[in-house]
Chains A and B, each alone.
Chain A
Amino acid sequence: MSFPWAEHYTPKNPVMKWVDERLPLPRFIYNAVGAGYPVPRNLNYFWNFGVLAGIALTIQLVTGIVLAMHYAANAGIAFESVEHIMRDVNSGWLLRYAHANGASFFFIVVYIHMFRGLYFGSYKAPREMVWLLGIVIFLLMMATAFMGYVLPWGQMSFWGAQVITGLFSAIPLIGETLHTWLLGGFAPGDAALNRFFSLHYLLPFVIAGVIILHIWALHIPGSSNPTGVEVKGPQDTVPFHPYYTAKDGFGVAVFLLIFAIAVFFAPNLMGHPDNYIPANPMATPAHIVPEWYFWPFYAILRAFTVDLSIPFTSIVLIPAKLLGVLAMFASILLLFFLSWLDTSPVRSGTYRPLFKKFFALLIVDVLVLGYCGGAPAEEPYVMISQIAAAYYFAHFLIILPIIATIEKTDPLPGSITEAVLAKAHKNDPAAAAVAAE
C-alpha cells in the first residue's frame, strides 16, 4: 500500500510480536483493516456494502456447511431431507431459513455495492482490476445460487434447472452435447443433482479466494471516495480502524436487524410456493420463474421473440432462443468492458450532471426489467421488457461512451478535505467564519 503516512504495525503484545516475526499475518491484517490502512475520510454509507457482502458470504458459508451435515443429495430423498431439517434437526428451521434468505440478502447487498461502483466511477483507472474481479465474483455468485436452488428438488428447482440448462442446447453445433454433458443425462436427475451439490459446496470457497484478490487489488491504489478525487495527503484520510470498523459495525447491526426480521417473520416472502411441491418431471408449473435476483436477466432472455432471419425468405440466421441466450450473457459480460466504454476523465457521478440523469434512468430500467422477469411471459410484460432491455444495452454500449465525450462536467473540488470542509461549512456558516479567520 502506497500511502507514506500509513501507520506501521508495532506490536506491543509479546505474543503478537513473536507470531508476526515468524508469519507476518498480524501485520497483513493491520495493514488491510487495521490502523495501517488509510481510507478517505468522506466515505458515505454506500461504502458499507462491501463489508456487508463479506458478512453475507460468511453467513452462507457457515449455515451451508452445517446444513450439509443433514442434507441428502439424492433425487429420491433430497426434498424429504430438507423437510427433515425443517422439522426434526435442532434449530434446523432457523439454519434453512437463514441460508435461503441469506442468499437473497447477499444479492441485495451486492447489487447495491455494484450500483455504488457504477455511480461513483469505482471501475475507472486505476481500479479496473477491482471491478473485473468483482464481475467474476458476481458470475460465481450466480452459478452458486442457481445450483443451490436446485438442491431442495422442488418443482421450481427441477424446472428452473430444466430451463436454464436447456439454454445451452441453443448453442449451435455443440449445444446438445454440452447440454447432456452438463446434466449427465437428458433431463435434470440424480447425476445433475449430485454434481450441483458438489459444485455448490466448492464455489463459495472460490468466491472467498477471488474476494481476497478483489480486496488486494483495491488496497494497491486504496479506496475511492464519493468525490472521485484521489487522496492527496494525510488530511484526506483516516485510519480504517477505529473509524471504519465502527461505521461498518453499525452497518452490520442494521443489516442483521433487517435480515432477522426476514428470517423470523417473513421467511417465505422472497421464495416461490411451487418449490414446496416435490419435483415432478411430468407436470410443468404454470409459470416457471427463477429467484428474484435473476429476474432482470430472465426478462432480457425472454424479450427476444423474433428470429434474426433474412427478410422475405425463411432463412434463419440466429433463432430467437439463441438471441435471448446471447443477449442474457452479453448483458453481464459487457460489464467487464465498462472501464473502457466510459472514458470520462471525471470519476464520480456527483460531478457529472448528464451522467446522473441517465444513471437514474438505468435504475428505473433495471427495476422494470426485474418486475417483468417475475411476471408471466405475456403481454404487456414482453413488450415492456423489450423496450427496457433495448435501453439497457443502449445505456452501457452507446449512451455512456457518448456522454463521456460530450458531457460538460461540474468543477471538481481540489481535494477531499476541501470537499469535506465545504460541506461542513455549508451546514454551519458560523464555523466557516471562524475557520476563515
Chain B
Amino acid sequence: MVRILGALVGLFFSIMLIWAFGVGAYNFVTDPPQKTAEQWVQKNFPMEHVSWSFNGPFGKYDNAQLQRGFQVYSEVCAACHSIHLVAFRDLKDLGYNDAEIKAIAKKRQIPSVDPKTGEAATRDGIPADKFPHVYPNDVAARAANNNAIPPDLSLMAKARHGGADYIHALLTGFREQPAELLKKFPDSKTPEGLHYNPYFANLNLAMAPPLAGEGQVTYGEGQPKPTVDQMSKDVAAFLTWTAEPKMGVRKATGFPVVIFLLFAGVLAYLSYRSIWADKEH
C-alpha cells in the first residue's frame, strides 16, 4: 500500500520535473539566456589577489600599515563613511598610546544634550565613545550624496566577496568604460552622475573615485610613498581590521589549540588501538 502510493507520488513529481525540464530545455535552445554585462565584465576583469600581511593561518596585521590606513580613512573616507561599530579605544590595537587615542577622540564631535538647556548639542569625544555617524539619518545621507547612502565601513571587508582584495580592486578600479563593453551591451552605458568600476557588482556606482592621485594623504617619515595603489592597500587593510579586530588573537589562540588536539588525537588513537589489541574486528 505504502509502495503503491509512494510510487504514484514519485511518478507525479518526476513527471512534473521532466515536464519543467522539457519546457526549460526548449526555451534554452530557442531563446538562450544572454550573458549579462556584469557576467562579461566579471569574466574579463578578475580581481587581483593581493598578498596581504594577514593572509593565511600565520598572517598578522602590520600595525604601520593599519595606522596609514586609518590616516587615509580619516582624511578621505570619513567625510561620508562612518565606522560606527569601532570605538576610539579599539585603536589601541594599532599601537597608539592612551594620549594619542584621547587626542583622536577629542577631534570628533559626539551627539549629546546641552546640560543647561536640554537641546541637542555635541561634545568632544572620549576614548569610550564609538566613531560617530556622519549623517543624523538616511534622508540626510541621501540628500548630501546624490540620492545614495554611503554605507558604514566597519564590516565592509567581511560583507563583500573578496574582502580586502575587493576594497583594493574597487578603489583602484575606476576607469573609462571599455569600448568593447559598450559595443556588446549598449544598455550598460554609465548613467549621468555614476562612475564605471568593473569590480562593483552593478558596474556603475554613485561614489566618485575617492583616491584621485598620489600624495592625497601625506605619510610620515620612513613610510612608503602614498600612491593610489598604496593608499588603497592601506585603507583596505585598515578596514579588514575594523571588520575583524580579533583576527590576531584568533589565529594566535588557534595555533596551540590545533597542536593540542593533534596530540590528543594521537594519544586517543593509541589508546583505542591498545584497548582493541586483543579483539579481531
Contact = CB atoms under 8 A, between A and B. Distances in A.
B10 A396 contact: yes
Interface stretch (B16-24, B64-72, B216-224): B16-24
A250 B272 contact: yes
A379 B16 CA distance: 18
A246 B270 CA distance: 10
Top 10 A-B residue pairs of the complex, sorted by shortest distance between their CB atoms:
A264-B254, A397-B10, A253-B265, A276-B159, A390-B17, A386-B21, A340-B2, A250-B268, A257-B261, A93-B246
Interface string B1-44: 01100110111011011111101110010000100000000000
A389 B258 contact: no
B279 A87 contact: no
B147 interface: no
Interface in A261-282: 261, 263-265, 267-268, 273-274, 276-277
B161 interface: yes
A387 interface: yes
Contact of A337 (B6, B255, B276): B6
A382 interface: yes
Interface of A: 41-43, 80, 83, 86-87, 93-94, 97, 238, 242-243, 246-247, 249-250, 252-254, 256-257, 260-261, 263-265, 267-268, 273-274, 276-277, 286, 303-306, 308, 320, 323, 327, 330, 334, 337, 340-341, 343, 378-380, 382-383, 386-387, 389-390, 393-394, 396-398, 401, 420-421, 424
B103 interface: no
A396 B160 CA distance: 40
B41 to A, nearest CB: 14
Interface in B141-191: 151, 154-155, 158-161
A253 B13 CA distance: 43
Nearest to B274: A246
Contact of A398 (B11, B243, B281): B11
B14 to A, nearest CB: 4
Interface string B30-65: 000100000000000000000000000100000000
A383 B2 contact: no
Contacts of B33: 378-379
A93 to B, nearest CB: 4
Contacts of B281: 41-43, 420
A242 B276 CA distance: 9
B279 A41 contact: yes
7 contacts: A83-B154, A97-B250, A253-B261, A264-B251, A264-B254, A320-B20, A327-B13
B20 A265 contact: no
Given A94-B250, A260-B254, A327-B13, A398 B20 contact: no
Given A273-B159, A383-B24, A394-B14, A267 B9 contact: no
B159 A274 contact: yes
A253 B264 contact: yes
A260 B258 contact: yes
Contact of A264 (B14, B159, B250): B250
B14 A390 contact: yes
Contact of A393 (B13, B21, B90, B275): B13
Contacts of B117: none
A218 to B, nearest CB: 20
Chain B binding surface, main DSSP class: helix
Interface of B: 2-3, 6-7, 9-11, 13-14, 16-21, 23-25, 28, 33, 57, 85, 90, 151, 154-155, 158-161, 201, 243, 245-246, 249-251, 253-255, 257-258, 261-262, 264-265, 268-269, 271-272, 275-276, 279-281
Nearest to B32: A379
A379 B39 CA distance: 14
Contacts of B16: 304, 306, 308, 323, 327
A398 B10 contact: yes
A257 B20 contact: no
A398 B10 CA distance: 7
A380 B3 CA distance: 33
A347 B264 CA distance: 36
Given A337-B2, A380-B28, A306 B261 contact: no
A342 B82 CA distance: 60
Given A93-B250, A253-B261, A330-B13, 14 more contacts: A42-B281, A83-B85, A238-B279, A243-B276, A246-B268, A250-B268, A253-B264, A253-B269, A265-B251, A305-B23, A306-B23, A382-B24, A394-B14, A398-B7
B120 to A, nearest CB: 20
A320 B20 CA distance: 10
A264 to B, nearest CB: 3
Given A265-B254, A341-B2, A383-B28, A334 B9 contact: yes
A260 B261 contact: yes
A264 B28 contact: no
A379 B276 CA distance: 53
A249 B17 contact: no
A330 B13 CA distance: 10
A181 B246 CA distance: 41
A256 B17 contact: no
Interface-central residue, A257, A263, A382, A387, by most chain B CB under 10 Å = A257
Given A250-B269, A261-B258, A401 B161 contact: no
- Name the residue in A257, A273, A394, A421 with the highest tally of chain B Cβ atoms < 10 Å from its Cβ: A273
B31 to A, nearest CB: 11
Contacts of A383: 21, 24-25, 28
Given A265-B254, A394-B14, A421 B159 contact: no
A44 to B, nearest CB: 9
Contacts of A257: 258, 261-262, 265
Contacts of A340: 2-3
B275 A242 contact: yes
Nearest to B255: A264
Contact of A87 (B201, B245, B255): B245
Nearest to A389: B17
A423 B269 CA distance: 22
Contact of A386 (B17, B249, B258): B17
A358 B6 CA distance: 18
B158 A276 contact: yes
A256 B258 CA distance: 9
A341 B3 contact: yes
Contact of A397 (B6, B57, B258, B272): B6
Contacts of A252: 268
Contacts of A394: 10, 14
